[in-house]
Amino acid sequence: MAKAKGYAVPAAGAPLAPFTFDRREPNADDVVIAIKHCGVCHSDIHMVDNGWGQSVYPIVPGHEITGVVTAVGSGVTKFKEGDRVGVGCFVDSCTTCAARDLDREQYMPGLVLTYSGFEPGSDLPTYGGYSDHMVVKEGYVLSIPDNLALDAAAPLLCAGITLYSPLRHWNAGPGKSVAILGMGGLGHMGVKLAHALGAEVTVLSQTLSKQEDGLKMGADHYYATSDPKTFETLAGTLDLIICTVSAGIDWGAYLSLLKVDGTMVLVGAPEEPVPLNAFALIPGRRTLAGSMIGSIKETQEMLDFCGQHGIVADIETIAIDQINEAYQRMAKSDVRYRFVIDMATL
């Protein structure tokens, strides 16, 4: 075991505070990573509050991790000391199950979350990226393209892939009219990625306060959902809506913006159930779907795509001791557009 330093919550509702814990010694197939930056995802807030009822305490959050390799196990072939790498939302998955599917491994039953899960075959909790170092199997480590800065690339590991995967799955591209609902950490990545994929991009935000930024990031249209006229103007016009909102909304009102055969994909994961009138779907043969992060293969594809297009997150860098304040600001949608912790401040 090696001692690690981080920030953790001991129980639901407690603030994050300094925490010392053990990381395992590297096995032959492990990579040791000195963490340089970690993005702050709204899922971190749901998890520390036990909002989804699945949290394992103490929690060291963080699954938008970038850093540098400091050591590799004897069997590691893809990475060497000094490589710039990333780790996202999971650090292991099914390795034996017959249904193992490398294109969809995030949906396999053996998925091990980067934090608030358990190390495979043990009762040691997994601890995330608000910490100084990590030990991760090489199959779950990503390469960061050379032209992307490690701080602004960190949010690609969750926010980036969570938008890239449904945009690709539902064929966002030329001729497709795609709306991104919620202009937060996930949403702003969705605008950049959907634009780079060639889709016509509409942002649906509560107000017009981020309109200028949204248009610069590649949106073609920008509407305030607080204005009832938005729903009249856009009725039946969209092929695809990706909903990144972290709270409950009027689902039926948004479904009415879809064309016949349009799809609304939930990536935002509110803590309350989604109530729905069947007639929000039936008359337009509309689909309401969900999507979760992406496979390791797809995450590397997304990172390479971002490297080719020069896409990173718009970030506000914070010191680790500002993390509790950052959570409070995120709860008020007061972030442009992702907090990233500089781990040198730990």
Residues that bind Zn ion (CB under 5 A): 41, 43, 158
Contact 222, 196 (CB under 8 A): no
Strand partners, 201: 178
Residue corresponding to tokens 């075991």: 1
Q: What is the spatial distance between Cα 306 and Cα 145, in angstroms, rounded to a whole number?
A: 8
Q: Which residue is nearest to ligand NAP (CB)?
A: 184
320 binds, among ligand NAP, Zn ion, none (CB under 5 to 8 A by kind): none
307 binds, among Zn ion, ligand NAP, none (CB under 5 to 8 A by kind): none
Closest to ligand NAP by CB, 244 or 295: 244
**Which SS3 state, helix, strand or coil, does residue 164 take?**
helix
| C-beta contacts of 18-27 below 8 A and 24+ residues apart | 19/58, 19/60, 21/58, 21/60, 21/127, 21/131, 22/124, 23/127, 23/133, 23/134, 23/135, 24/119, 24/124, 24/135, 25/1, 25/135, 26/71, 26/72, 26/73, 26/135, 27/73, 27/137
HSE-CB of 64 using CA atoms within 13 angstroms: 32
Closest to ligand NAP by CB, 26 or 128: 128
> Which residues contact residue 82 at a Cβ distance below 8 angstroms, ignoring those fewer than 6 apart?
68, 69
Closest to ligand NAP by CB, 66 or 333: 333
**Backbone φ/ψ region at 61: left (φ over 0), alpha (ψ -120 to 50), beta:** beta
Quote the least distance from Cβ 297 to ligand NAP, whole Å.
16
193 binds, among ligand NAP, Zn ion, none (CB under 5 to 8 A by kind): none
Q: Which amino acid is present at 337?
A: Y
Closest to Zn ion by CB, 43 or 93: 43
Quote the least distance from Cβ 46 to ligand NAP, whole Å.
5
Closest to ligand NAP by CB, 249 or 281: 249
Quote the least distance from Cβ 249 to ligand NAP, whole Å.
5
Quote the least distance from Cβ 191 to Zn ion, whole Å.
17
Per-residue DSSP letters for 114-129? SSSSB-TTSSPBP--S
292 binds, among Zn ion, ligand NAP, none (CB under 5 to 8 A by kind): ligand NAP
Quote the least distance from Cβ 61 to Zn ion, whole Å.
9
Q: What is the spatial distance between Cα 134 and Cα 60, in angstroms, rounded to a whole number?
A: 12
Closest to Zn ion by CB, 249 or 292: 292
Closest to Zn ion by CB, 158 or 242: 158
CA nearest neighbour of 265 among 281, 298, 248, 243 = 243
Quote the least distance from Cβ 61 to ligand NAP, whole Å.
12
128 binds, among Zn ion, ligand NAP, none (CB under 5 to 8 A by kind): none
HSE-CB of 236 using CA atoms within 13 angstroms: 4
Quote the least distance from Cβ 125 to ligand NAP, whole Å.
20
66 binds, among Zn ion, ligand NAP, none (CB under 5 to 8 A by kind): none
Quote the least distance from Cβ 181 to ligand NAP, whole Å.
8
**Site of interaction with ligand NAP (CB under 6 A):** 41-43, 46, 158, 162, 182-187, 205-206, 244-247, 249, 267-269, 291-293, 330, 333
Closest to ligand NAP by CB, 186 or 320: 186
* Local structure of residue 108 (DSSP, 8 states): S
